[in-house]
Structures are given as C-alpha cells and as structure tokens.
Chain A
Amino acid sequence: MIDYIIETENLCKQYKDVLAVNKMNLYVNKGELFGLVGPDGAGKTTTIQMLCSILNPTSGTAKILKLDTIKDAEKIKGKIGYMSEGFSLYGSLTVDENIEFFADLYKVPFEQRQSRKKKLLHFSRLTPFVDRPSEKLSGGMKKKLALCCTLMYSPEILFLDEPTLGVDPVSRREFWKILNDFRKEGITIFVTTPYMDEAERCDRVALLHRGDIIRCDSPSNLRRGLRGEMLDIKALPQKKAWNILNNIDEVLEAQIFGERIHVYVDELNSATNQINKKFFNEGIETIDLRKGVPSLEDVFVSAIQKNTKGIYVESEIELTNKINSPKQIKSKKINEIAIHTDNLVKKFGDFTAVNNLTMTVNAGEIFGFLGPNGSGKSTTIKMLTGLLMPTDGNAKVGGYDAKKEVGKLKAKIGYMSQKFSLYNDLTVEENINFYGGVYGVEGDYLKKRKNWVLNMAGLVGKEDTLTKSLSGGWKQRLALGCAILHEPSIIFLDEPTSGVDPVARRHFWDLIYNLSSEGITVFVTTHYMDEAEHCHNLGFIYNGNLIALGSPSDLKKEKFKGELLEIECNNPFRAMEILQNGSKKYQVSTFGNKLHVIVEDIDREIIKIEDILKDNRFQVDRLEEVPISLEDLFVLLIEEDDRKNRMV
C-alpha cells in the first residue's frame, strides 16, 4: 500500500457550460516532482486550485496529505505552498519586505527566519537586491522571489502554476536549479507548464487535454510508449510527401512538425529504403532524412490525435491547403526594405526601454524578435506600429516615417497583440465585420476577404459561433485573419502562439510561412526557441539593447565557437556540479532533463567526461554531439551580456 501525498478520485469541475476537469484520477508520491502539462484552457489552473483547496470541485474528491480538500481545507493550508500563475508579489514592497510578509503569514519562528532567508536569497542570487521594490525586478527575478516567498516556510508540497511563463531561458534554468536544491529537503513538487522541455525534467508527467488526462507516466516511459522508431524528414512538397508516407505500409504514423515530418516506423532501415524509393518515384525532393529522438511534444501530439481519433488534426491539415491568398499581393520583392530603424530610443522617465536600436527587415521576410519579458520587445513593436512616439532616432515602416506619417503607416500594417483583440461576446462573423469597418474594408471586397479569412482559419460553418466558445487555436487564427483583413504588406505578431497547444502552434506557423511566401513581411515575437529556428532572421534584445542580429544559422556560426555535447544521465543536477567543479571546470548547463557541455575538441573530451561520470557512479544513457540550439545560444548571449554589465 503506497502512501500517496496527493490523491484524487473522479475529480470534476464544471463551470457554467464548460467541463474544465473531467473525472480526474491522479496519484502523486511523496518527494516526487510531478508535472501537469497542457495548453491554455486544458484545466491546469482549475486542477491546481482544487488541490490547493481554494476551489471546491463539482464532484469527486481530492486528498492532500490524507486530508480532504473540502472538509479539512484549513488544515491543508499552512502545509502547502502555492505559487499562482503570474504570482504576484506586492510590487511596491521590497524583496525583503515581501519575504518577511510571507514569513509572518506562516508564522515562521524568528530564529529560523534569518538563516533560511539568507540561504534562499543566496540561491536565487537576489541578495544584492533585497531593498529593491519587487516591481522593479526583471520578470525572471520576480519569479525567483515568488519562489523564495513560498519556500520561506518549508511547505510539504509545493504547487507551482506555470511558474516560468514568459521568463527568459537563463532565469528559467536558475529557477529549476533552486527547485532542485530544495527538493533535497523532501518537498513534493506539483508543477504545471506549457513548456515541453520543462516537462522533461519531471519524474512523472500527466498530459492534460481539455480536462482529460490522456497520458500519465515518466517522460522516458511516455516516449517509449510511441510505437516503433522515429524518422525525422524534411521533404518538398511537404503535403504530397505526407500523403505518400501515409500510404506506405511500414509507416505507423506520420505527423507534420512545422517544416519537418516525423514518421514512426517499426524497422528503421527497410522503412528508410522504402521511403526513399517512393519519394524518388513520385518526384519528391528529400532535403533531410535522419533518425530522430522523439520529444515529449511528439508524445503529446500523437496522444491528442489518438484521443480525438485523428479528426482534429486531419481537418486542420486540409485547411492549410485551402488557403488561397488573394492575388493582389505582389510576389516577393527581394531586397525591398520593409522596416528600417536607425538608433531608435525610447525612454520612460530615466528608464531606457529601448536603447539605440538599429536594424533592417527585408520585405517578405519572417523576422523573429526575441528577448525575455521586459526587455523592450513590446515597446519596439509599439513604436514601429505608430502607437508610441520614439524618444529619439528614426524608424521607417513600409516606406513611411513612424514619427510623422503614422496615418499612412497604419494602413499598410496589420497587428495582432498578445491577447488576441477579439470581442468574445461577438460571433465570428461579427468580429470580422467589425474589423472590416475599422480598416475600411466593405462591400464586395469585405465579402471576398471574409470568405478568405473563414477558409484560412477553418471557420467555415462557424460564422455564428460566439468567439468565446472557440478553442485557443481557432481564436488565434481568427485574430490573425482579422489583423490581415485589409491585406497589409507588413504584419506584427506579438507572442501569437503563447499558451496554444503544440498542434495548433504548428499550424499557425504554416500560416505564417504561407503569408511570407506571398510577399508579406512578418515581424513576430516569441518565447519558443523552436519557433525562432523557423525565422529567416532574428533580432535578440536584452535590457533594451539589441545583442544579436542575423539568420539562425549565421548567428550560431558567429556567436558560438566550440562543440556541444549532450548528456542524458540520472541526477543531472548533481552531475552538473561535479563537471563544473572537477579538475577541469566544464561549461555545463541543463537542457530539459539533459546536460549540455561546451567543449573545444569533442572527440577527446567525450571520453574524459564519460569517465568522470562513471567514476562517480552515474548511469549514463546517452552521450553525443548535438548541433547548438538557439536556446543554448541565447543562454550564452545573456550570460555574456550579464558578465559585461557586471564588469562595467
């Protein structure tokens, strides 16, 4: 008989017309790091609130530490810690005051308080900022402070609701490191996240989709659950290739992942031969074909498809083909400049949000604008779209001056904000009509454009549906449709895919590709580094400064010297410490549940590192060279920039 620390039985939560959580049965062991993974609206927050006994379930029971969440709610409180989504500290209170406030709430004895506070501040590297108001901390520091506040009173279970949403990769890694350090105290951690790489760090993961747990197991078991082996293929034209793959007997499953297709087969070699043969016969150009390592995202996508019996995804794939972009838009004009900024500056009081930004975006390009929250991304977009007046410098967008010709500029651009600016109480068609009115699209032209948007978003037949009852993916495509109703030549997308499930995210990127191939310039911000890989060019902004600019491949070549070794082993944090502090001090960082080591000569070091790990009795599952990812690169860039700033 195992003593579960969290135990739910047929837990349900019904809101007016939505079943948010459906008959959930969940068991978490003491000391476990348990991840609840799913897109926005899957029911993550509802679940965590019910477990923290601040939300009563509609039916079913949940037991925390053997206490019932309804009857013994007050007994549970005080034994658990909870960091709500977007946890909110008191902005005007300093770091120290926030920590003290939470210590007071939980009546932490004064004797323990000082030593614990010191330890937490040290781990989170917040010691220099104790007297700073928390609202003046960066997004990543705020999250770390919030974690410190909840860890002040040594809770038995820690509930974290999307703790690293919108945080830069470096802070995210630090955050997980603190968590790992405190797991040694025996804390059980229950975390929700939309990031699959974070899910990889968990002992066990439950995949939540529309209120149902569709899979629950350890990440490695989940990956093993996928049938056969995986091939990672890039072939053109993709749609035709996908059709062919589906008709090959040996192919168990084929899924489109952005520009790649992931194919599951029983036996690698014979399947590869057969695919190559078929592709050759049908005139498909194979750009890349290799053995792939399935990620949790693959598991999730595959599970969603099975759960909905394939209908969900198939209909979306069909819809990508239906897109008939209007012919008025001229084909790509190479070398035409869409956006150009020259020493653009924006100051708010004595705070410089954007500092001497100079960059050029060519027409028809997908330009990815990356950076942690609060680094100046949204401010830049607001200046480029004429919503905010620059303090200094110049910007030209679509040939118009962003300072003087705002009116003309606005007619040329489309803008989709973080929270899709749709009216939830209007129907799909009413929303389109409204934006038609705003942009002066009317009459037959509006009719034509409306049909185009409905086709593109796959909303034909749903014209009279209230927007609020659409799922995240539909909403997002409708919002995109509304933003480009007037056929702008440049569109700005501000974190268009945050909080959308992986399947919908992929299809959204297919739409972006289509727009780009029609000659439309796409300026997009994102936190997902895999999305950044799909951009033609990238700009990376940190603390208001543009610290890197170029295409993904050029940036990797330029900014990264050396080779990257990926290690999969048990207890990666401990392994990292050993590698960092041995006779040779390696540059190691965590990457999901893996370790990345930067080395100069991989062939020589690979043996040494394997020896070190084996000497220390680690179980090494995998040790191989991998190409550097953008995430690795940006962690390097941020660390480099921080080092420079510390020196100054």
Chain B
Amino acid sequence: MKGSRTYSIFIKEIYEIKRDPYTLGIAIIMPLILLFLFGYALNLDVKNISTAVLDHDKSLQSRKYIERIKSSGYFDIKYHVSSYKDIEKLLDKGYIRNGIVVPSNFSKQIIRGLPTEVGIFIDGTFPPTAKVTIGYIEAINEKYSGDILKEILRRQGRDFDSIQAVKLEERVWYNPSLKSKNFIIPGLFAVILMAFPPLLSTLAIVREKEKGSIQQIFVSPTKPFEFIIGKTIPYALIAIVEMVIILIVGVYWFKVPFKGSLILFIILGTIYVFCTVSIGVLVSTMMKSQMAAMLLVLVITVMPSLLFSGFIYPIFNMPIFFKVYTYLFPARFFIDISRDILLKGNNIKEMFWNIIILLLYTTIIISIASLRFKKKVD
C-alpha cells in the first residue's frame, strides 16, 4: 500500500535497520549463539561420569567387575586409589562424581558362592545425575550377578538362556534414541522467538521515545495503529527470518527429526512471532527508557519461558499454583506445538486447543498494546 502512512513508517524503519548493521547482526547472530549454546551445553544425558575406584581385592574377579563398569560406556574411570581418604578428597575437590569400593574378600565370596557387597559413594549435589548414576550401577550389578548365577547353574548342569523371569520390552516413542537435544531444541525455538523479537520491537519504539522523535509522530495525524503496525512489521519479518534460520540449523546441524508439516509450523510460528512482538509493543507503552524496557522484557519473556514453559522442567511436576501460572506465558503453548510438530508429526486437530489459546493470546496482547498507546508524552 504505497502512499499510506503505515507503509512509509515501515519503509523508514527498514532503512534504519539496514543502515544499522549492529541491530540486524544482533537479531540474527544472537539467536544462533543461543541455539548452539543450549544445543550443546544443555545436555541432560548422563555420560562419562568421572569415577575413582578403590580395589582392595586386586583379583581377577574384581578386575573383571571394574572392566564391566568401564565398558558400559557411562563411566570414565579417572583414578585408581588406595584408601577411602583419597576418594573423600577427590569427591570434595569435585574431581570425581562417584567412587566405587571393592572389598578385599570380593573374589573369595564369589568363588564360595556367597553374596558380597560393593560400596559406592556418590556426589548428590545434583540429584537427577546422582539418581541416574545409581541406576546405571544397579543395572550393571544385576547383570554381573546374573552372569555369576548363570555360571553357577551351568556348573550344576542346568542351562538357562536367561535367568530373568520377567523381561522388559522397551519401545520409546517420538524420541527413540532418547537424546535430550531432540527435546531441548524444539523447545528452544519457542524460547528464542520469545526472547529476541519483543526485545527488538520494544527497543525500536522506546528508542524513539528517548530520542524525542516520537513527539513528531504524536503531533502528526498518524493513528496509533498505523504507527504500531508500520513500526513492528519489520521486526516481525526479522523474527520470521530468525525462526527459519534456527529451524534449518536445528534440523540440519543438530539433526533434530522433523516429522510434521513444515507449512503448518511456519504458519503457527508466524502467529507466535506476532504474539511475542506485540508483547514488546505492550512493554514499550509502559516504559520511557531503553534500559528499563529491556529489563522488563527480559523478566516477562525470557525468565518465564525458561522456567515456566516446560522447556526443561516438566509442567506436570509443578505445584498447582505454578501450573496455573504457566498459562500466563505463551511460550508454553508454542513449546507444545513445536514438539508436537517436530517429534510427533501432529496435525491441527491434535493441537487444536494450543492453537486456539495462542491466537486468543495474540489478539488480547495486540489490543491492549494498541489501547495503551496514547499520542501523549506523559
């Protein structure tokens, strides 16, 4: 619509962005940095647990046992020590996450066919990892005990393929390799699109407030919606580009599966982007300085989208109050949508309510922002 005010505000904004490579750079580069940081660093898989071993027995049996632990692939045996004190020290210093102690009568007991005990000392500061570690050791122990049992039975002339009475047949759906990045990255799309687009749009408006150029707009016959739309569409476009880039990197670099419809994802992503951009506009109507606006945006977008969206911490585990609280932030709906499309390949029907809520949310935010935007200086 050439000649309309919205169009000329839009064009003006595009010129400004084009000539200020920093904004554009930050808008494109920062999300990628975040994606790589989280994609690599935020790994919930427990692997390579640094371990110290205290082998009092030093027999063939004990070595076999330790070899079993090593070959499981989950443990990195960094130290072979000769006293409890050493384990204590290493744990204190944080050099190891756990210590395994094999008693001196380990092989004797096994040969006699009597039970024996292995000691394990675990750093419990981060409970999820500690729990997983215990789980691994228990599984290894069970397997090892089973093998010994089988050996004893074999000697007695009884042959079993397996002594396990009930066998577990696992089928993991949606993320069969159980890689946490497949869980993190689709969620990260929602977080990134919540962090940057509102920041860009709010700063774009508050910057004009700070500079005073907005007063010229106030005095002109420009209508609030003309200004808001013209001003935010460029940033929504940047955000959509951002979305496509992180999607490409997520699928091709991090090899996150993409099972659903790409078009559906882009459409819903665009709605979500308009929602987050309008949160930025809403903040800009309340704040006068860029610094304050930035802080407020971070507090109402990034913080809840990391903590209260199911991005890392499952919502179903939260106390009821926080469960309700999570509904206040649109990130939770888009995280569901993003995971549903990428991992499950869901279609509109299955995500119906999430989509409706997202649409509703967007409409409400845009309306409040437009109503709050007054052509006055105070």
Chain A residues within 8 Å of B, Cβ to Cβ: 49, 52-56, 73-74, 77-78, 80-90, 92-93, 97, 100-102, 104-107, 133, 149
Pick the residue among B15, B16, B220 that contacts A77 (CB under 8 A).
B220
Pick the contact of A104: B5, B15, B218, B376 (CB < 8 A): B5
List the B side residues contacting A85 at CB < 8 Å: 212
Instruction: For A106, give the chain B residue with the smallest CB separation.
Output: B220
B222 on the A face (CB < 8 A): yes
A89-B213, A93-B15 known; A101+B8 contact, CB < 8 A = yes
Q: Given the interface contacts A77-B219, A82-B216, A90-B213, does A55 sit within 8 Å of B377 by beta carbon? A: yes
Which chain B residues border A149 with CB–CB below 8 Å? 216
Given contacts A74-B221, A77-B220, A86-B212, contact A105 B375 (CB under 8 A): no
Residue of B with least CB distance to A149: B216
Contact of B215 among A84, A89, A105 (CB under 8 A): A84
Chain A residues near B8: list those with CB within 8 A: 100-101, 104-105
Q: Which 5 A-B pairs have the closest CB atoms?
A: A104-B8, A78-B221, A92-B19, A82-B219, A88-B213
Cross-interface CB contact of A54 among B211, B213, B377, cutoff 8 Å: B377
Q: Is the CB of B12 within 8 A of A93?
A: yes
CB of B20 within 8 Å of the partner chain = yes
Is B377 a contact of A92 with CB atoms below 8 Å? no
Is A54 in contact with B5, judged by CB distance below 8 angstroms?
no
29 contacts between A and B (CB under 8 A): A49-B215, A52-B218, A54-B219, A54-B376, A55-B377, A56-B378, A74-B221, A74-B375, A77-B221, A78-B220, A86-B212, A87-B212, A87-B216, A88-B211, A88-B216, A90-B213, A92-B20, A93-B12, A93-B19, A101-B8, A101-B12, A102-B220, A104-B7, A105-B8, A105-B217, A105-B220, A106-B220, A107-B3, A107-B5
Q: How far is the CA of A97 from the CA of B217 in the complex (A)?
A: 16
Measured in the bound complex, the distance between the Cα atoms of B57 and A126 in whole Å is: 93
Q: Which residue of chain B has its CB nearest to the CB of A92?
A: B19
Docked pose: A49 CA to B16 CA in angstroms: 27
Distance of A81 Cα from B215 Cα, bound (Å): 11
How many B residues touch the partner, as a band? 20 to 34
Given contacts A54-B375, A77-B221, A133-B19, contact A97 B216 (CB under 8 A): no
Contact status A97-B12, CB under 8 Å = yes
Q: A97 contacts which chain B residues (CB < 8 A)? A: 12, 15
Given A78-B220, A82-B219, A105-B8, A88 and B375 contact (CB-CB distance below 8 Å): no
Shortest CB-to-CB span from A98 to chain B, Å, is: 9
* Pair B221/A84 contact, Cβ less than 8 Å: no
Taking CB atoms and an 8 Å cut-off, the chain B residues in 252-273 that contact chain A are none
Q: For A49, list chain B residues within 8 Å (CB).
A: 215, 377
Bound-state CA distance A89–B215 (Å) is 11
Q: How far is the CB of B6 from chain A (nearest CB, A)?
A: 10
Q: Which B residues are CB-close (under 8 A) to A93? A: 12, 15-16, 19
Given known A55-B378, A93-B12, A101-B12, contact A106–B212 (CB-CB < 8 A): no
Least CB distance from B263 to A in Å reads: 35
Is there an interface contact between B5 and A84, defined as CB atoms closer than 8 Å?
A: no
Taken together as a complex, chains A and B put the C-alpha atoms of A603 and B370 apart, in Å, by 69
Query: Assuming A77-B220, A84-B212, is B376 touching A55 (CB within 8 A)?
Result: yes
Which residues of B232-265 are within 8 A (CB) of A?
Answer: none
Which residues of B lie under 8 Å from residue A107 when comparing CB positions? 3, 5, 221
Closest CB in chain B relative to A58 CB, distance in Å:
10
Residues on A with C-beta less than 8 A from B219 are: 52-54, 77, 80-82
Query: Chain B contacts of A78 at CB under 8 A?
Result: 220-221
Digitize B68-92: 1 where CB-to-A-CB distance is under 8 Å, 0 elsewhere: 0000000000000000000000000
B9 — which chain A residues lie within 8 A by C-beta? 105
Seed contacts A49-B377, A105-B9; 7 additional CB < 8 Å A-B pairs: A77-B221, A87-B212, A90-B213, A97-B15, A102-B220, A104-B5, A105-B222
Q: In whole angstroms, how far apart are the Cα atoms of A92 and B22 in the complex?
A: 13
**Residues of the B chain whose Cβ atoms lie less than 8 Å from the Cβ of A87:** 212-213, 216
Q: Looking across the interface, which residue of chain B has its beta carbon closest to that of A89?
A: B213
**Cα of A569 to Cα of B373 in the assembled complex, Å:** 50
Please, how many angstroms separate the alpha-carbon atoms of A55 and B376 in the complex?
Answer: 5
Q: Which of A52, A54, A83, A106 contacts B221 (CB 8 A)?
A: A106
Measured CA separation A132–B20 after assembly (Å): 15
Q: Which residues of A contact B220 (CB under 8 A)?
A: 77-78, 102, 105-106
Q: CA–CA, A133 to B16, complex, Å?
A: 11
Which B200-223 residues have C-beta < 8 A from chain A? 211-213, 215-222
Shortest Cβ distance from residue A47 to the other chain B in the assembled complex, whole angstroms: 13
Q: Within the complex, what minimum Cβ distance (angstroms) separates A562 from chain B? A: 43
Closest to B213 in A: A88
Cα separation A107 to B9 with both chains bound (whole Å) = 12
Measured between alpha carbons, how far is A80 from B376 in the docked complex, in Å?
15
In the complex, what distance in Å separates the CA atom of A89 from the CA atom of B12? Answer: 11
Flag if A92 contacts B16 (CB, 8 Å): yes
State the CA gap A21–B374 with chains docked (Å): 22
Closest partner residue, chain A, to B8 (CB atom): A104
A81 and B7 CA atoms in complex are apart in Å by 22
Residues 355-378 of chain B: 1 if any A CB is under 8 Å from the residue's CB, otherwise 0? 000000000000000000001111
Q: Which residues on the B side are within 8 Å of A52 (C-beta)? A: 218-219
Interface residues of B in 5-28 (CB under 8 A from A): 5, 7-9, 12, 15-16, 19-20
Complex-state Cα separation, A133 to B7, whole angstroms: 21
CA distance A81 to B219 in the complex (A): 7
Considering residues B9, B218, B222, which has the most beta carbons from chain A within 10 angstroms of its beta carbon? B218
Measured CB to CB, the closest approach of chain A to B227, in angstroms, equals: 10
Contact B12 A82 (CB under 8 A): no
Chain B residues in 8 Å Cβ range of A81: 219
CB distance from B181 to the nearest CB of A (A): 40
Docked-complex contact B218 and A54, CB < 8 angstroms? yes
In the bound complex, how far is the Cα of B3 from the Cα of A253, in angstroms? 62
- Nearest Cβ distance between residue A409 and chain B, in whole angstroms? 33
* B375 CB contacts on chain A under 8 angstroms: 54, 73-74, 77
Q: Which residues from chain B contact A55 at a C-beta distance below 8 Å? A: 376-378
C-alpha spacing A106/B9, complex, angstroms: 12
CA distance A47 to B192 in the complex (A): 44
Q: Give chain A residues whose Cβ lies under 8 Å from the Cβ of B377.
A: 49, 54-55
Separation in Å of the B211 CB from the closest CB of chain A? 5
Roughly how many angstroms separate A429 CA and B376 CA in the complex, as a whole number? Answer: 37
Known contacts A55-B377, A78-B220, A97-B15; A105 and B5 CB within 8 A of each other: yes
Name the residue of chain A whose CB is nearest to the CB of B13.
A90
Q: Bound complex: CA of A324 vs CA of B15, how far in Å?
A: 59
Q: Max chain B CB contacts within 10 Å: which of A80, A90, A100?
A: A90
> Which residues of chain A are near B376, meaning CB under 8 Å?
54-56
Chain B residue, CB-CB nearest to A50 = B377
A84 touches B19 (CB 8 A): no
Minimum CB–CB distance from A131 to chain B (whole Å) comes to 13
- A90 touching B218 by the CB < 8 A rule? no
